[in-house]
A = this chain, B = another copy of it.
Amino acid sequence: MNLAQKLGYPENTKLLIIHADDAGLSHSENQATIKALQNGSVNSYSIMVPCAWFYEIATFAKNNPQFDCGIHLTLTCEWENYKFAPILPASEVSSLTDQNGYFHKNRADFKNNAKPAEIKKELIAQIEKALQFGIQPSHLDSHMCSVGVTPEILEIYKELGETYNLPVFINRQFVESISLSTEKYNFENTLLADNLIIGNFADFEKGELKKSYQEALDSIAPGFNVFLLHLAFDDYEMKGITINHPNFGSAWRQIDFDFFTSQECKTKLQENNIQLITWSDILEIR
């Protein structure tokens, strides 16, 4: 039986989770995410525990368990002026930080410095803090897919899924595309998302991000699909956070918000017979 059948749908069903990353990053990100869960087509999100707006979104998550809420395990910080750091004391996880005590800026620096034992310790601390705040996580996923840089780190991530009995979001093609290792990954006994759908920078630059989303929904394949979004408003705070970083920048995030809260998106989901599912559905049939 494939995932669709296990969930009680026909074999060829187009299953889809519409997921928003990066909750907790900022007030803008939190509020756009909340609005898109409540009124839009988004049905899953995940929270960055080390970020300054964690408390606001954790409070929402605790009071709104009807929405799938994952933990967006965070090991890198891509922004120029807005920084975040491990939640463990710097002295305990110094391999995870730059000279200022903040997370490394990109996957390469992370891969070249981070010690597996410190990665594991920090990720456990993030999960435990989320639990302590009353969040009932539906799954784990990874900010910038930093856990995908080597098979060894991906194993830590999978192991945490086992430990906490949570599905972990993994798309094989994506992990292999961002891999910084020549070693082979082991995807046996792992639930893999068949397709990761995510905007690309070329489309954004051409002003065709929305069009690419429309086309993606029109051509979605049967199987387990995950649409990965970043929801925020193109406001002063987000412009400040994403300065000099138009890739997944504030204008991009506003487009994500606008489209995935539109009637057009809802209609496309219906017309294309797309079946929305959640991580909680998956957790139930494990």
Q: For A235, what are the chain B residues with a Cβ–Cβ distance below 8 Å?
A: 235-237
Which residue of the partner chain, among B31, B51, B59, B100, contacts A52 with CB atoms under 8 Å?
B51
Q: For A84, what are the chain B residues with a Cβ–Cβ distance below 8 Å?
A: 52
One complex includes copies of this chain to the number of 2
Interface 0/1 of A140-168, CB less than 8 Å to B? 00000000000000000000000000000
CB pair A56–B82 under 8 Å, yes or no, is yes
Q: For A133, what are the chain B residues with a Cβ–Cβ distance below 8 Å?
A: 100
Secondary structure of the A contact surface, majority rule: loop
A58: min CB distance to chain B, Å: 9
**Is A53's CB within 8 Å of the partner chain B?**
yes
**Is A241's CB within 8 Å of the partner chain B?**
yes
A241: min CB distance to chain B, Å: 7
**Is A81's CB within 8 Å of the partner chain B?**
yes
Interface 0/1 of A54-68, CB less than 8 Å to B? 011001000000000
**Is A27's CB within 8 Å of the partner chain B?**
yes
> Assuming the A-B contacts A89-B89, A133-B100, are A237 and B28 also in contact, with contact meaning beta carbons closer than 8 angstroms in the complex?
yes
Interface 0/1 of A222-234, CB less than 8 Å to B? 0000000000010
**Is A102's CB within 8 Å of the partner chain B?**
yes
With both beta carbons as reference points, the residue of chain B lying nearest to A99 in the complex is identified as: B132
Which A residues from 69 to 93 make CB contacts under 8 A with B? 81-84, 88-89
With both beta carbons as reference points, the residue of chain B lying nearest to A59 in the complex is identified as: B81
Cα distance A172–B28 in the bound complex, in angstroms: 40
**Is A254's CB within 8 Å of the partner chain B?**
no
Cα distance A133–B99 in the bound complex, in angstroms: 10
**Is A40's CB within 8 Å of the partner chain B?**
no
**Is A26's CB within 8 Å of the partner chain B?**
yes
CB pair A81–B55 under 8 Å, yes or no, is yes
Which residue of the partner chain, among B51, B88, B233, B240, contacts A27 with CB atoms under 8 Å?
B240
With both beta carbons as reference points, the residue of chain B lying nearest to A89 in the complex is identified as: B89
Cα distance A83–B27 in the bound complex, in angstroms: 12
With both beta carbons as reference points, the residue of chain B lying nearest to A58 in the complex is identified as: B100
Cα distance A237–B241 in the bound complex, in angstroms: 12
